[in-house]
Chains A and B, each alone.
Chain A
């Protein structure tokens, strides 16, 4: 299983990387929105975990790109912050599958990822 993680904050991306690698997933990291968009095409991930606020392209753009341009049903998890509830709502409208609020528990993330990938 290949997971694309789009997040520009090193601490978060590292945390997600280490935790999910432990679960045996193959990870592809993108540190900004543009990289993420490029890698969706090249890497064709089985799942996307994306931050909302990133340079060049936002999480919302990544969702709509995945859903509309590629037309794939790739599961998408949103990394949101407190106070971004309206954006999360927007993300769900665009086709996101789940969200997790920062700061998040790495174990919880692991559970959410597994659940989405096995359902």
Chain B
């Protein structure tokens, strides 16, 4: 019950109470009025009676007078007189005045009787009669007045009673009308709302129906027709279940049984229904549990046709499925595209490496020959030409190196060295490299290196050189007049480290402000016209940026269009360099004149230009040179002759450098130092060389001074080897049998080693196979197993590599290269084992 209705009820109750009180008051008033009227009426009656009485008395008096004066004489003894007198006496017995008069009259009458002629008596009688009449007249007047008064009061009472009654009736009538009006309005209202809901229920698109506890339909609104095709009358008394599509019957039945049993007030269920003509429709039914005295007695249901919605849902679902499918397809495409891109990238890297090899080999010839040419007596003009060739080759090498470096940085294969170097050497190199160009352009080249910077630093001189060449080269390239300057200042220094700031400033064309953020991107130049006008790959600054980043440095640029650019970068170096004298040995080729005097060297090289170059270079240092075109030829020569050092190219037809070296180490049992020469810039190459049994490694094109130093080094190191035949120190660490020897059983040891020698090659094959198939899981497994075995032999170089393979496999990276290295190491271990232990 709402507060509103309660208030209304209270108001009604109060009104009824006041009505009762009012009725009481009215009734009381009426009673009073009636009482007053009755009393007045009685008063009027008694007044009338008294008036009447007076008239009677006066009549009697008249009769008496008549009796007395019938005759001219008084006849006191007339017949009627006594009757009249006694009547009078009776009538006036309550009036003392009349009683007194009457006794006086009687007295006079008695006198008259005695003396009928006595006039005095007569006069007296007459007098008394007159008095008596007067008295009665007075009384009459008085009584008539009283009567009038009473009458008036009665009238007043009557009037007021009439008015009150009228008013009461009026009031009651009004009340009655009011309440009847109210009832009428209420009825009307009820009627309106009822019809409204009725219309609503009848016309609503939803179907509303109710069932009894058996599920028989008791009421259904007309809407049921459009949903099911049955009219409400047809459905009356039928079980609702016959409308449910058969496949849904068990579910629906179970659902409502559950609701009924568990007394759940309201449920919503979606199911399919079947219409009269057999159409299937999806509906949503809200079922309210009807209760009678707290016990479920049936359902009140509202059904909504959701076929369209359901259709939409199904379509949406199908669409989503399709979408998912296409997404999956798209994903697959993406993956395959990515794989392709990766492959393409790998191919590109491979291509770059190959190309670099192909280019470097002839470049080596050009560069070497030019250098040799410059050593010969030349006319000044010839010397100038040769110098130009030399510089051009250097420039070309810079470009090739740029491309290679860039691809190496991208592949994460570029490593930063940390070696001792002289900063002055780097600066001088940069300066001399651009000397000619600045002079030609008429530019001033200012160099300012802070003198407090130590002479020797630790770091990567090659990378520093690269960055400086790039920046200075750019500065010169983009400056037509004015100057280019290179400043090196110390920014910070402690016991171990020094932080330097390098600044390259020019007065050139400058870089537009909006281009500055992009200049460190690869293949980006300040504008398309720049590359047309000035040339270049657009890689230089990107490489600088990357190289500096890799060394923990940073680069900044400030520029004003038309007035110049300034690049500055900060780099830290070690400043505890230990002076390496050997690097300072010579400054000219001429100093090596007798370095290799009397030494026999075998050069294994398939490129004729390089053969010639090598031949010349080595002969200059006093060596006796024998040439071999490939590995086979070299072995033939080695079988019959002995040499002090072998210079071995790695890529050769028939038998490459690795095979040849392995062969001469294992089959020929030669310990002659081998220097590998390669144009391959692929990382890991050096390691492979060392593991194949080579002693040093140089990449082409090479620096003559460095080459001489290294060869001399090899000769020095192997000097003792040649006289005392001990196993190479680097090989003796390949394994250690101490763990196996602990068992203290020779037979067992023999057994184990045999197992090792037969089992490991099998495992290696499995590992190779798995790595080729990129089955990372198998790679991991086999590497693990091999590690177990090699571990017992404490072949740490092998186990380290195997651990690396495991790591790569876990990262799902390609391990083929490392597997190859393992194969090489294993080969070496096997060789060593066979040699040292008689199995």
Interface of A toward B, CB cutoff 8 Å: 8-12, 14-15, 18-19, 22, 51, 53, 81-83, 102-107
Contacts and interface: CB of A to CB of B under 8 A. Distances in A.
A103 B759 contact: no
B806 A83 contact: yes
**Which of A11, A51, A105 gathers most chain B CB within 10 Å?**
A11
A14 B787 contact: no
Given A12-B788, A82-B803, 19 more contacts: A10-B755, A11-B755, A14-B755, A15-B740, A15-B743, A15-B752, A19-B742, A22-B744, A51-B788, A53-B781, A53-B784, A102-B788, A102-B791, A103-B792, A103-B793, A103-B799, A104-B739, A105-B739, A106-B740
B743 A81 contact: no
Interface string B736-756: 000110111100100110011
A80 to B, nearest CB: 10
Contacts of A14: 748, 751-752, 755
Interface string B760-785: 00000000000000000000010011
Contacts of B751: 14
B759 A10 contact: yes
Nearest to A12: B788
Nearest to B759: A10
Given A83-B806, A103-B791, A103-B792, A11 B742 contact: no
B547 to A, nearest CB: 33
B221 interface: no
Given A9-B785, A10-B759, A18 B743 contact: yes
Contacts of A22: 743-745
List the 5 shortest-distance A-B pairs measured between CB atoms, nearest first: A103-B791, A18-B748, A11-B789, A9-B788, A103-B792
Contact of A106 (B739, B755, B793): B739
Contacts of B742: 19, 105-107
Contact of A81 (B752, B756, B787): B787
A18 B744 CA distance: 10
Interface of B: 739-740, 742-745, 748, 751-752, 755-756, 759, 781, 784-785, 787-789, 791-794, 799, 803, 806
Given A53-B781, A103-B794, A11 B788 contact: yes
Contacts of A82: 803
A107 B756 CA distance: 21
B798 to A, nearest CB: 11
Contacts of B740: 15, 106
Nearest to B784: A53
A27 to B, nearest CB: 14
Contacts of A107: 742
Given A82-B803, A106-B739, A12 B781 contact: no
Contacts of B755: 10-11, 14
A10 B760 CA distance: 11
B752 A103 contact: no
A91 B443 CA distance: 74
Given A53-B781, A102-B791, A11 B743 contact: no
A12 B789 contact: yes
Contacts of A106: 739-740, 742-743
A105 B741 CA distance: 10
Nearest to A55: B781
Nearest to B785: A9
B contact patch SS: helix
Contact of B756 (A11, A102, A105): A11
A94 to B, nearest CB: 20
A81 B748 contact: no
Contacts of B789: 9, 11-12
A15 B743 CA distance: 8
Nearest to A18: B748
A22 B792 CA distance: 19
6 contacts: A10-B755, A10-B759, A11-B792, A22-B743, A104-B739, A106-B739
Contacts of A9: 785, 788-789
Contacts of B743: 15, 18-19, 22, 106
B803 A83 contact: yes
A11 B739 contact: no
B792 A12 contact: yes
A104 B742 CA distance: 11
A60 B755 CA distance: 27
A11 B752 contact: yes
A83 to B, nearest CB: 7
B785 A8 contact: yes
A7 to B, nearest CB: 8
A83 B805 CA distance: 13
Contacts of B748: 14-15, 18
Contacts of B792: 11-12, 15, 102-103
Nearest to B794: A103
Contacts of B756: 11
Nearest to B748: A18
A102 B751 CA distance: 20
A89 to B, nearest CB: 18
Contact of A18 (B745, B781, B793, B806): B745
A19 B787 CA distance: 21
Nearest to B751: A14
Contacts of A103: 739, 788, 791-794, 799
Contacts of A11: 752, 755-756, 759, 788-789, 792
Nearest to A19: B743
A19 B759 CA distance: 21
A102 B748 CA distance: 19
A81 B756 CA distance: 18
Contacts of A19: 742-743
Nearest to A16: B743
Nearest to B780: A53
Contacts of B794: 103
B180 to A, nearest CB: 91
A51 B792 CA distance: 14
Nearest to B736: A103
B776 to A, nearest CB: 14
A8 B782 CA distance: 11
A9 B755 CA distance: 10
Contacts of B781: 53
Contacts of A83: 803, 806
A99 to B, nearest CB: 14
A54 to B, nearest CB: 10
A11 B758 CA distance: 11
Contacts of A15: 740, 743, 748, 752, 792
Contacts of B788: 9, 11-12, 51, 81, 102-103
B43 to A, nearest CB: 125
Nearest to B745: A18
B201 to A, nearest CB: 67
Nearest to B744: A22
B786 to A, nearest CB: 9
A83 B803 CA distance: 9
Contacts of A81: 784, 787-788, 791
A81 B788 CA distance: 7
A104 B794 CA distance: 10
A82 B783 CA distance: 13
B767 to A, nearest CB: 14
Nearest to B758: A10
A22 B784 CA distance: 28
A82 to B, nearest CB: 7
A104 B739 CA distance: 7
A12 B739 CA distance: 11
A83 B784 CA distance: 10
A107 to B, nearest CB: 5
Contacts of B784: 53, 81
Contacts of A53: 781, 784-785
A29 B570 CA distance: 64
Contacts of B787: 81, 102
A68 to B, nearest CB: 26
A11 B788 CA distance: 8
B635 to A, nearest CB: 35
